[in-house]
Amino acid sequence: MAPTLFDDSLKPGDLIEFFRGTFEHWAVYIGGNEVVHLVPQGADDDSVPFSSLMTVLDSGIAEVMRHKIWEVARFDRYHVNNLLDDEYEPHERRIIVRDACRMVGRQLPYCVVSNNCEHFVTELRYGKPESRQVKTVIAGVATVAVALGVTLISSLLKDDNKRRNHK
């Protein structure tokens, strides 16, 4: 997204959700058209597209970086998503920004399931690392697993009943 398309409604401390296609990337807006975000190793290399899901899945280390919002967005859509404001009291905006800026340059462990960019920003804003994105995927996988299990059991029971009836 070009600098001229910048959304003036952003406030320091807001969580920004970037839509990458197969997943979302998260950052904290710190003011001055800048964000702080957790970037998996290799994802900031222009030769490796950040939208690559494999880059995200294959990294065990990430770096906290500070960029202009349009450098992070590139051509992707984004919006403010303070997703847990109804559940938790957000920290003061100045505290969120201060803490985010203090983290810049640090390398942190990265795990797509337990320590990703969404966990990073929710911990800064609420003091609680959570990822709705991960919870949604896990719930979806669990639902599919249960459905497959029920289908398999039903199929086995039908086969068993057929065998009994043919004897």
Which residues carry out catalysis?
A: 25, 37, 117
Q: Please list the residues that pair with 16 across neighbouring strands.
A: 27, 80
Task: Give the orientation angle of helix 132-165 with respect to helix 117-126, to 10 degrees.
Answer: 130
Q: Which DSSP helix (H) or strand (E) runs through 58? A: none
Closest CA to 39 of 103, 96, 93: 103
- 74: phi > 0 → left, psi -120 to 50 → alpha, else beta; which? left
- In the three-class reduction of DSSP (H, G, I as helix; E, B as strand; rest coil), residue 119 is classed as helix
* Alpha carbons 39 and 55: distance in angstroms, whole number: 10
**Side-chain half-sphere CA neighbours of 3 within 13 A:** 5
